[in-house]
Amino acid sequence: MATLRAGSCKLLLAAFLLISSLHAFLVTSTEFTVGGEDGWGVRRSNRDRDVYNEWASRNRFKVDDTIHFKYQKDSVMVVTSEEYEKCRSSHPLFYSNNGDTVFKLDRPGLFYFISGIAGHCERGEKMIIKVLETEAAPPPQSANENSTATSQSSPWPFPMYSLASAGAVLTASFFA
């Protein structure tokens, strides 16, 4: 009876470890809360005028990440670089004023955010986010090239088969 219970515990532990390790590699996007606990809004101090760009510079954004804006009696707009510099837009690329806005970063490059409330952008409620390029696959080799060595690029830091091998080794070690 004790042997059966110990075997079941080992099996559950091995399954948990395998599933947990795979989950870490399958997560593809992150949700960032703009401004942390303070959210999106005009800051009280003039020395906090660049708080959002400083926050953005501390984070690494990639395609499919989301930006979560939490605010009260305000709005958020995605605008062009020219509109960002002028702190105004009559035709924003995106506009929301619901107080709880999630915006998906759907491409690499720069995104320009400003408040839609008059005077807020000028007081520092604006931000530029740079979304990193995705890792590109190597160009296909043409039939005319005579290359003896080829390498493949992968978004994983190690080949996928090593995940399966690691899982098999972990599972086998629990049953030994």
> pLDDT per residue over 16-53, tens digit each?
555 555 544 455 889 999 988 889 999 877 777 889 99
State how far the Cα of 139 lies from the Cα of 145, in Å rounded to an integer: 12
The CA-based angle 120-124-128, given to 5 degrees, is: 110
Q: Which fold has domain 31-132?
A: Immunoglobulin-like (2.60.40)
pLDDT higher than 60, residue 160: no
The single residue listed with the structure tokens 């002028």 is: 86
Q: Structure pTM?
A: 0.63
pLDDT of res. 7: 61
pLDDT higher than 70, residue 174: no
* pLDDT, greater one: 151 or 165: 165
State how far the Cα of 75 lies from the Cα of 95, in Å rounded to an integer: 7
H/E element, 55: helix 51-57
> Mean pLDDT over all residues of the chain?
77
The single residue listed with the structure tokens 């948990």 is: 16
The single residue listed with the structure tokens 């080949």 is: 159
pLDDT higher than 60, residue 137: no
pLDDT of res. 118: 95
Question: Which residue ranges make up each domain of the chain?
Answer: 31-132
DSSP strand pairing (61-62 vs 126-132): parallel
Q: What is the CA radius of gyration of the chain?
A: 24
